[in-house]
Structure 1
């Protein structure tokens, strides 16, 4: 029998760590007052400092630094989550990884959902810019590589890791596993997990939190309806990839 209470302890550690990291990232990037453009990374300092004072010009983290931080942090959290599931005997089917997890319908469904969410996200970004509601894409600009090697690393390592870990945690575990282990309503868990998902994206600023929460709820609904982790991982990866490719262009 799976040890659900012990597994919940592992999940709690991961969630707290993720939220703490999100808060630290927001402070580092200066959210929500992070500049709208990253062409000038130097923070202005007073032109007439007091006598004897030393001027310091802090800069925003470089793109390689941000990407490396994502790989290390998300990789560590994902490893802890997988180890916790293994030690406590949580079955793969409980998180949406059944024997036929890579069925053609799940893959095609994930592709269709990802493209549809990208279109909605693009329209929302245009409306946000038009009505000056904020800048939820500042983190995306900060993480956009400037070299071919950087793009290969982003599309082949960083974004797959992000999509896999976040869907495993927020959809597979917080909805699928908890609904199975604690006999809770998956729809209730879908709402709660979407709130946690939004807070986990605090580095994107207040508007980014709202957008992430809405995206998370759509992915949660898709997971509840399909019971497929593969579907939502593919959709999540495509949303992020298309945002970087189109926005980077």
Structure 2
């Protein structure tokens, strides 16, 4: 029989550690002068001087920052999976039934991801207009400057981030908790979206607002489809398109 209480306590420890790490990461991408950074999240192609200036204000070079993301996300994901296994939580509670991998759910994830990218761009412009703070520093700091770096980002880092965050914030905090404790999935969707927003504090106030809104849409999609795969695909596309459209890759 699943040990829901023990699993919930374990999830609380993982979530707390993740939020503390997110708070600490704000210092990694902090500017020595806030005026040096533009305030938009998207819809701006970064030229070389501005990109170099942004990187100069980060405390970690891009490869080290990407490695830090891979290690931290892998550790948290491993802890979460081990906790779920020890507590006997069934995969179906996370939205990982056989039907979750069907073409309709994959297609829904693609459509949702592309749509949310567009919404993300609009929200970023609004954040810029109302002075909600810088939300590009982390993205710029993580943007590679080589083909190999882009391969690592798009094929390893971003899939890992999307998989872990959706497992935690949608699969566990919404799906598993609704199944294990009989709570409303919509209430859990709202609560998990708040945690998801504050988990992205390194993106600034604009990033927190936009991420919270996008998080709720992803949670709603998870509740409606019951598929973790759908929201993982959507999450990945939002992140990947954000990097590709705004940072791009040039061999120059």
Question: Do Structure 1 and Structure 2 share a fold, with TM-score over 0.5?
Answer: yes
**Rg comparison, structure with higher value:** 1
**1:47 aligned partner:** none
Shift of 1:136: 1.4
Query: Cα deviation per residue 1:20-78 (whole Å; 9 max; x = unaligned)?
Result: 101110123227948415422456xxxxxxxxxxxxxxx53111111011000000000
Measured in 1, the distance between the counterparts of 2:199 and 2:130 equals: 26
2-side partners of 1:70 and 1:35: how far apart? 25
Residue in structure 1 matched with residue 184 of structure 2 by the alignment = 185
Q: How many residues align?
A: 234
Give the conservation status (yes or no) of the 8 Å contact 2:100–2:226. Answer: no
- Indicate conservation of the 8 Å contact 1:2/1:90, yes or no: yes
Q: Structure 1 residues 23, 35: CA separation in 2 closer, same or farther (over 3 Å shift)?
A: farther
Cα deviation, residue 133, structure 1: 4.0
What's the Cα RMSD here? 1.7
Deviation at 1:108, TM superposition (A): 0.3
Distance in 2 between the 1:235 and 1:111 partners?
Answer: 6
Residue 18 of structure 1 is matched in structure 2 by 18
Are 1:22 and 1:202, in contact at CA under 8 Å, matched by a contact in 2?
yes
How far did 1:125 drift? Answer: 2.6
Runs of 5+ in structure 2 lacking a partner?
Answer: 38-49
- State the distance in 1 between where 2:161 and 2:205 align: 20
Indicate the residue corresponding to 1:4 in structure 2.
Answer: 4
Using a 3 Å threshold, how does the CA distance of structure 1 residues 113 and 38 change in structure 2: closer, same or farther? same
- For normalisation by structure 2, the TM-score amounts to 0.88
Q: 1:42 to 1:244 in 2, by over 3 A?
A: closer
For residues 92-142 of structure 1, give each alpha carbon's deviation from its aligned partner in whole angstroms, at most 9, with x where no partner exists: 000000122211110000000000001111222334445554321221111
Bigger shift: residues 119-128 or 166-175? 119-128
Residue pairs, 1:228-247, within 5 angstroms: 228-247=227-246
Partner of 1:55: none
Contact 2:132/2:204, CA 8 A, preserved across alignment: no
Please show how residues 221-232 of structure 1 align to structure 2 within 5 Å.
221-232=220-231
